[in-house]
């Protein structure tokens, strides 16, 4: 069977890259979808308009904005081949569809969310149609196939919890489909994909699976915490790895930690750094004592933060610990800007996204849901840093930073008595 992937010309801001080049689960979205199709013996081809498609026959049509896992594709194909008419993928309402649903351009009804994966069986395709026209034509004529992702979630406590957001219910399902149009979709999908990719890896290890079942244990439950480590890795004995996939030649320094994450090739994780629910592109480098939760990093970035959560950084970004990307609003749920308009996400936890080649210096604070354009550079103002310490400074004499200089307190503010100094 052949699948035709429609080029919709969709690009993800702020990167400006085609949607197929988005980073999902440690690879591009195009590679991820192609891998799912290949696992089902489906050959991928590209199309732009309906004239590029066969006039009639059995084949798949999907846009380049659609992401799906191989389990989702397999179950859809199995159910579709038993039907007498053309079909369309749908996922029943569940914690998974609720988690991924915001900002997607999908159809839905009381039963399910409908995605643009169509299995055509003998349906004649009109010529001269653009993708929106073809999509409408197929949606009217294809019968929905509803798959059930299940209700399983993993309840995770939140760092710095604020009522009522003390836990995160992260869906756990192999049946994932999403219409990817925004960087937030990449963040949310990458929260789930380390677990999914581990499950898929162990499904392909029949000898390991059989051995654990012979002991009366569930191999997939074990796989959720068992890691996969690539070749040539240099891992310090004090490092901790749990439920993660490490690429080749990864370096982990003393007291580092990687949990529920995907780490690319040649990544260097410096001392005391922690990654949790993250996807890290190849050749990234973290600085000491950094902590990252639920974030995605394109390749070749330098990463430093005391706690960066639910955010995304583009390729070759440099970020310092002085930059704060807030991910938790105080009064209302996070909104993002799309085409100059604020659009609500319906979510309480979402950080910001920095484009490619940004240099984010000290003393920059971004509210939740902000987008930073490519090649943005933020540097420290002169008055924010002490350049020189006066040679006349006497031990025990209080000094204060004032008007761009470090001055004796009695000289700069003679009438002010700071609370931290006893009278």
> What is the number of other CB atoms lying within 10 angstroms of the CB of residue 161?
12
Q: What pLDDT score was predicted for residue 225?
A: 63
| Residues belonging to the chain | 423
- 201, 222 contact by CB (below 8 A): no
23-24 and 27-28: which strand pairing? Answer: antiparallel
Span of 177-191, 199-213, 334-348 with lowest mean pLDDT: 199-213
What whole-number distance in Å separates Cα of residue 417 and Cα of residue 423? Answer: 8
Beta bridge partners of 153: 171
> What sign does the CA torsion over 242, 245, 248, 250 have?
negative
What whole-number distance in Å separates Cα of residue 245 and Cα of residue 197? Answer: 8
> Is residue 211 scored above 60 in pLDDT?
no
Query: Above pLDDT 70, what percent of the chain?
Result: 91
> What is the number of other CB atoms lying within 10 angstroms of the CB of residue 382?
8
- 103, 180 contact by CB (below 8 A): no
- 40, 121 contact by CB (below 8 A): no
- 324, 366 contact by CB (below 8 A): yes
Structure tokens at 148: 């059930």
- 271, 256 contact by CB (below 8 A): yes
Domain 2-179 has CATH 3.90.550: yes
Instruction: Write out pLDDT tens, residues 309-339.
Output: 999 999 999 998 888 898 888 778 899 988 8
Q: Indicate the fold that domain 236-378 takes in CATH.
A: UDP N-Acetylglucosamine Acyltransferase; domain 1 (2.160.10)
What whole-number distance in Å separates Cα of residue 27 and Cα of residue 29? Answer: 6
Domain range summary for the chain, segments of one domain joined by +? 2-179, 236-378, 386-423
Instruction: Write out pLDDT tens, residues 107-161.
Output: 999 999 999 999 998 888 888 889 999 999 999 999 999 999 999 998 887 766 5
Q: Outline where 316-392 has alpha helix (H).
A: none
Q: What pLDDT score was predicted for residue 248?
A: 95
Q: Which phi and psi angles does 389 have, rounded to 5°?
A: -105, 125
Any idea what DSSP says for residue 20?
G
- 315, 42 contact by CB (below 8 A): no
Element (H, E) at 401: strand 399-402
Model-level pTM greater than 0.75?
Answer: yes
Q: How large is the average pLDDT for residues 285-303?
A: 95
């Amino acid at each position: 069977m052949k699948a035709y992937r429609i080029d919709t010309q969709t690009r993800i801001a702020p990167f400006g890259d085609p949607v197929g080049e988005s980073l999902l689960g440690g690879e591009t979205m195009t590679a991820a979808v192609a891998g799912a199709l290949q696992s089902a013996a489906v050959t991928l081809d590209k199309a732009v308009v309906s004239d590029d498609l066969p006039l009639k026959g059995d084949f798949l049509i999907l846009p380049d904005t659609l992401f799906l896992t191989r389990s989702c594709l397999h179950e859809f194909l199995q159910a579709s081949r038993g039907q007498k008419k053309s079909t369309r993928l749908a996922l029943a309402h569940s914690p998974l569809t609720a988690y991924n649903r915001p900002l997607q351009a999908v159809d839905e009804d009381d039963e399910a969310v409908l995605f643009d994966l169509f299995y055509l069986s003998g349906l004649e395709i009109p010529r001269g149609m653009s993708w929106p026209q073809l999509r409408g034509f197929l949606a009217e004529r294809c019968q929905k196939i509803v798959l059930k992702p299940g209700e399983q979630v993993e309840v995770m406590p939140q760092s710095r919890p604020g009522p009522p957001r003390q836990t995160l219910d992260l869906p756990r399902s192999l049946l994932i489909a999403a219409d990817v149009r925004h960087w937030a979709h990449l963040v949310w999908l990458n929260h789930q994909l380390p677990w999914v990719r581990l499950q898929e890896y162990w499904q392909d290890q029949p000898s390991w699976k059989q051995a654990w079942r012979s002991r009366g244990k569930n191999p997939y439950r074990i796989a959720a915490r068992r890691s996969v480590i690539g070749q040539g890795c240099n891992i310090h004995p004090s490092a901790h790895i749990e439920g993660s996939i490490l690429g080749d030649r990864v370096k982990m320094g003393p007291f580092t930690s990687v949990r529920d994450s995907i780490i690319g090739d040649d990544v260097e994780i410096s001392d005391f750094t922690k990654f949790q629910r993250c996807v890290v592109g190849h050749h990234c480098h973290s600085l000491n004592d950094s902590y990252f939760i639920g974030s995605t990093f394109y390749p070749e970035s330098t990463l430093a933060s005391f706690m960066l959560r639910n955010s995304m950084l583009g390729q070759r970004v440099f970020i310092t610990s002085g930059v704060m990307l807030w991910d938790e609003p105080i009064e209302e749920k996070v909104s993002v800007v799309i085409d100059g308009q604020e659009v609500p996400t319906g979510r309480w936890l979402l950080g910001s996204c920095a484009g490619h080649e940004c240099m984010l210096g000290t003393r920059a604070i971004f509210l939740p849901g902000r987008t930073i354009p490519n090649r943005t550079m933020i540097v420290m103002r002169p008055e924010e840093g002490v350049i020189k310490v006066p040679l006349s400074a006497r031990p025990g004499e209080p000094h204060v930073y004032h008007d761009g200089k470090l001055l004796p307190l009695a000289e700069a503010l003679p009438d002010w008595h700071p609370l931290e100094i006893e009278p």
